[in-house]
Amino acid sequence: MDPAPLPEFNDILAAAARIAPHAHATPVLRSRALDAMAGCALHFKAEPLQRAGAFKFRGACNAVWSLDDATAARGVVTHSSGNHGGALALAAKTRGIPCHVVVPDNAVLAKLAAIEAYGAVLHRCAPTIAAREAMCAQVQAQTGAELVHPYTDPRVIAGQGTAAMELLATAGALDVIVVPVGGGGLASGTAIAARALAPGCRVFGAEPAGAADTFESLRRGERVIDFVPDTICDGLRGSLGAPDFELLRTHRVEVLTVADDDTVAAMRLLWQRLKLLVEPSSAIALALVLGHHERFDGQRVGVILSGGNVDLDALPW
Amino acid sequence: MDPAPLPEFNDILAAAARIAPHAHATPVLRSRALDAMAGCALHFKAEPLQRAGAFKFRGACNAVWSLDDATAARGVVTHSSGNHGGALALAAKTRGIPCHVVVPDNAVLAKLAAIEAYGAVLHRCAPTIAAREAMCAQVQAQTGAELVHPYTDPRVIAGQGTAAMELLATAGALDVIVVPVGGGGLASGTAIAARALAPGCRVFGAEPAGAADTFESLRRGERVIDFVPDTICDGLRGSLGAPDFELLRTHRVEVLTVADDDTVAAMRLLWQRLKLLVEPSSAIALALVLGHHERFDGQRVGVILSGGNVDLDALPW
C-alpha cells in the first residue's frame, strides 16, 4: 500500500533543516525528585511545548514543506484522532495551503476544536481504519489533495526523528531513549536517529496494554492490526504501520506494555514535578521507566514527552 | 509589630546575588494565541518552574541565607497556607538547618505534603491570623528559631523582587507588570524593582473579589484586615501586611479585583496554551488583563505567573 522507500538518517537531517524556520527546538527538562524515584537520570524532551502542542508538528511540517508548489497548491489531507490533524492543519497554514482532516466520531473534542482553529476542514467518519481510509480517498478524489498519513508517510517518520536528534544534541550521550508507541512513527524516527547519532543507545517503546498491537506484532514476527483499542491514551489507539513495523524490527526497538493506571499515576507525577501539562499518551513513557527499574537503574535515560493536548473539559472546574 | 526598615532596590540586588546559587532563573514564555486574545504582548514569568514550584522560594531563600551562622543554627519558623511554607522548608534544607511551619487546618493537602517532603516540622492550628501567630510565638520560644514572615519580612520582600528584575532583564522594556496580590510581598518587591529598572512601568495587582482587603485598604487609605476570605485562590487568602501597605501606596500600585470564575477561565487558557500547570492564584493576573482590555491594549505586558502547586487530588483521574 505504501511503496515509498523507508526513511534514512539523511532524511532526518533534511527534515531538521526544512522545519527549522517553523518548529520550536523544545527544551529538555530535568527533575531531581523524579530522578530519585526512578533511580536513573531522566532527560525529558518537552514536546508539549512544540507548536500545536505535540511532536506531530515535526512530521507534518516536513511533509508539507517537502511538496513542490503545484502539489502543495492542491492542499493536504489526512486522517487522525487528533494531534496529527492539528499538526497538519497548522503546517498547512504555515504554507498557506488547504488542509482536510478526516476525524473519527470518538475523537477528543479539544483536539477537534484545535484543528478547526488552525483553519482545516473537518470530515467526520466512523472510528474504524476502513472508514477513515475510505473518507480520505474520497476527499483526495474530490480535491486532488496530497495524502499525509500520520505515521506511515516516510516524510512524517523523518520529521518525527528530529525530536530524538535534538534530545541527543542537548542531553549528550544517553543509554536509552523511551518513546510512546501508537502507529510507530515516532518510535521509528527515534530509532533511525539514535542508530546514527548514538549507536550504543537503545530505544524502548511504551505501548498501552489495551492497544498492544505493536508488542504483539514484534513478538509474533508479523504485523497484527486486528484489535479494538481500549486505553486512556487517545493518541496511541492507531494500529502499527507497515513501514514502521519493518523499521522497529530492523532497529531492534523493544516494546513493553503499560497499564493505564500506571500511565495516569505517571501523568500526575509529571504535572506535579515538571509543571508541564502532558497528555496520557506522553506519560506512558515515564510509566514504563518507573515500572522497570531493573532495566534503567543508574542510566542516562531520554524520555520523549510527546504532547500536551489534554481535554480540559474533563477537569472539575 | 515589624520595626524592620522597608526594603530598597539595593536589597533586591543583594538578594539576587544571595539566591543565585540556589534558585532558578525561570524562563519568560510567550503565546501568539493569548496575545491575540488579550490584544497586547504578554510576557509570562514562569515561576511554577521555580524550585518548590513558586516564586516564594526567592524570598525564603534570601531570608535563610541572610542569617548569621549562630542564628541559622537555631532554625527558622513561619506560618503559611502553603507555598511559603514549602519554600522556606526547601530553603532551610539548602542550608542544612531546621525549619518549623505553622499551617492552618484548611490548607491544601498537596502543599502540606510538599512541606513535609522537604524535611520541615508541621505545627497545625486554627485558620485565623491570631491562632497562627500564637503558635508561631510558641515554637519560637521553644526552639529559638528565627521567624520568617511570609510577606512582611523585608528579606522576603526583597527576594520576591528578583522575579520582576529577571523579567525586565529578559523581556526588555515593559509598559506594565501584573502580579497577584495576597499579603502584598510579591507586589511590593515588584514595585521596588520596576521603579528602579523601568521607571515608566506601572504595576497592577490582581486580587480575588472574595479577599479584597488590599483593594479596600488602598481605597480607604487605611489597612483593612478584618475579613473572611472566600476564593479559589488559596495562595491569596492572607491579609495585607503593614509594610506592604506602605510600599504599595508609596509606589502607587493599582489593585483591581477579579471574580473567581474569570480566574478559572484564565487558568484553563494558560494550561491549554502554555502547557504550564499554574495554580488559580497565578492565573488571576492573566484574568485581570483579559478583563481590562482598555488598560492594556497594544502594550508590552509582563505577567508574573506566581506558582504551580495545584492540588491534583481535585482532578477526576
Ranking A77-86, B54-63, B65-74, B164-173 by mean pLDDT, the lowest is: A77-86
Cell of B132: 497562627
Paired sense of beta strands B121-125 and B99-104, if any:
parallel
Answer whether A148's CB lies under 8 Å from A66's CB. Answer: no
Tell me the residue type at B201: C
Paired sense of beta strands A28-29 and A41-46, if any:
antiparallel
Report the alpha-carbon distance of residue B56 to residue B37 in Å, rounded. Answer: 29
Paired sense of beta strands B41-46 and B99-104, if any:
unpaired
Instruction: Say whether the ipTM exceeds 0.90.
Output: no
DSSP single-letter state for residue A301: E
Which residue(s) pair with B257 in the sheet?
B207
Instruction: Tell me the shortest Cα–Cα distance from A278 to chain B, in angstroms.
Output: 8
Q: What pLDDT sits at residue B22?
A: 97
Ranking A196-205, A244-253, B198-207, B229-238 by mean pLDDT, the lowest is: B229-238
Q: What pLDDT sits at residue B128?
A: 83
Share the mean pLDDT of chain A: 94
**Whether pLDDT at A234 is above 60:** yes
Q: What pLDDT sits at residue B234?
A: 86
**Whether pLDDT at A175 is above 70:** yes
Q: What pLDDT sits at residue A111?
A: 77
Q: What pLDDT sits at residue A110?
A: 74
Share the mean pLDDT of chain B: 94
Mean local confidence (pLDDT), B98-105: 94
Cell of B40: 497586547
Mean local confidence (pLDDT), B59-85: 94
Cell of A159: 520529521
**Whether pLDDT at A157 is above 50:** yes
Residue A197: which of A217, A223, A225, A174 has the closest Cα? Answer: A174
Instruction: Tell me the shortest Cα–Cα distance from A260 to chain B, in angstroms.
Output: 11
Domains A9-54+153-314 and A57-147 share a fold: yes
**Whether pLDDT at A107 is above 90:** no
Measured between CB atoms, which of A53, A268, A314 is closest to B312? Answer: A268
Cβ contacts (< 8 Å) between B277 and chain A: which residues? 271, 275-277
**Whether pLDDT at B123 is above 80:** yes
Tally the residues of chain A.
Answer: 317
Q: What pLDDT sits at residue A80?
A: 83
Q: Chains A and B: how many Cβ contacts under 8 Å?
A: 44
Answer whether B304's CB lies under 8 Å from B177's CB. Answer: yes
**Whether pLDDT at B317 is above 70:** no
Ranking A47-61, A188-202, B41-55, B126-140 by mean pLDDT, the lowest is: B126-140
Q: What pLDDT sits at residue B129?
A: 80
Q: What are phi and psi of B87, to 5 degrees?
A: -65, -45
Measured between CB atoms, which of A110, A275, A314 is closest to B53? Answer: A275
**Whether pLDDT at B219 is above 90:** yes
Mean local confidence (pLDDT), A290-315: 91
3-state secondary structure A241-254: CHHHHHHHHHCCCE
Residue B264: pLDDT band (50, 70, 90) is very high
Measured between CB atoms, which of A264, A275, A276 is closest to B317? Answer: A264
Say what the alpha-carbon torsion angle B296, B298, B299, B300 is, to the nearest 10 degrees: 120
Specify the long-range contacts of residues B69-75, CB closer than 8 Å, at least 24 apart.
B71/B146, B72/B97, B72/B146, B73/B97, B74/B98, B74/B143, B74/B144, B74/B145, B74/B146, B75/B99, B75/B100, B75/B143, B75/B144, B75/B145, B75/B146
First and final C-alpha spacing in chain B: 46
Mean local confidence (pLDDT), B29-42: 96
Question: If 0-12 CB within 10 Å is exposed, 13-18 middle and 19+ buried, where does residue B1 land?
Answer: exposed
Cell of A293: 527499574
3-state secondary structure chain B: CCCCCCCCHHHHHHHHHHHCCCCCCCCEECCHHHHHHHCCEEEEEEHHHCHHHECHHHHHHHHHHHCCHHHHHCCEEEECCCHHHHHHHHHHHHHCCCEEEEEECCCCHHHHHHHHHCCCEEEEECCCHHHHHHHHHHHHHHHCCEECCCCCCHHHHHHHHHHHHHHHHHHCCCCEEEEECCCCHHHHHHHHHHHHHCCCCEEEEEEEHHHCHHHHHHHHCCCCCCCCCCCCCHHHCCCCCHHHHHHHHHCCCEEEEECHHHHHHHHHHHHHHHCECCCHHHHHHHHHHHHCHHHHCCCEEEEEECECCCCHHHCCC
DSSP single-letter state for residue A113: H
Cell of B238: 492572607
B274: left (phi over 0), alpha (psi -120 to 50) or beta: alpha
Strands (E), chain A: 28-29, 41-46, 76-79, 99-104, 121-125, 146-147, 176-180, 202-208, 254-258, 300-305
- What strands lie across the sheet with B99-104, from one edge to the other? B121-125, B99-104, B76-79, B146-147
Cell of A83: 494531534
Q: What pLDDT sits at residue A129?
A: 80
Task: Quickly name the fold that domain A9-54+153-314 has.
Answer: Rossmann fold (3.40.50)
Q: What pLDDT sits at residue B105?
A: 87
Looking at per-residue pLDDT, the higher value among A107 and B92 belongs to: B92
Cell 479585583 -> residue: B257
pLDDT in tens, A119-152: 999 999 998 888 988 999 999 999 999 999 999 9
Mean local confidence (pLDDT), B242-251: 97
- Domain ranges (residues) in chain B: 9-54+154-310, 57-147
Report the alpha-carbon distance of residue A260 to residue B65 in Å, rounded. Answer: 44
* CA distances, A308 to each of A120, A168, A182 (Å): 20, 21, 16
Residue A45: which of A148, A194, A229 has the closest Cα? Answer: A194
Task: Kindly report the CATH class assigned to B57-147.
Answer: alpha beta
Task: Tell which of B29, B32, B317 to mutate to test the A interface (max A CBs under 10 Å).
Answer: B317
Mean local confidence (pLDDT), A221-240: 90
Mean local confidence (pLDDT), A293-310: 96
Q: What are phi and psi of A297, to 5 degrees?
A: -50, 120
Cell of B178: 501584573
Q: What pLDDT sits at residue A3?
A: 57
Residue B72: pLDDT band (50, 70, 90) is very high
Radius of gyration of chain B (CA): 18
Is the CATH number of domain B9-54+154-310 3.40.50.1100? yes
**Whether pLDDT at A179 is above 50:** yes
DSSP, collapsed to helix, strand or coil, labels residue A232 as coil
- For chain B, the maximum distance between any two Cα atoms, rounded to a whole number of angstroms, is 56
**Whether pLDDT at B258 is above 50:** yes
Q: What pLDDT sits at residue B281?
A: 95
Interface of A with B (CB under 8 A): 48-49, 53, 110, 264, 267-268, 271-272, 275-278, 308, 310, 312, 314-317
Chain mean position to CA B280: 12
**Whether pLDDT at A108 is above 80:** no
Instruction: Tell me the shortest Cα–Cα distance from A217 to chain B, in angstroms.
Output: 31
* CA distances, A281 to each of A269, A287, B211 (Å): 14, 11, 39
Q: Considering only alpha carbons, which residue of chain B is nearest residue A316? A: B315
First and final C-alpha spacing in chain A: 46
Q: Across the interface, do B271 and A110 touch by the CB < 8 Å criterion?
A: no
Report the alpha-carbon distance of residue B246 to residue A275 in Å, rounded. Answer: 34
Q: Across the interface, do A271 and B310 touch by the CB < 8 Å criterion?
A: yes
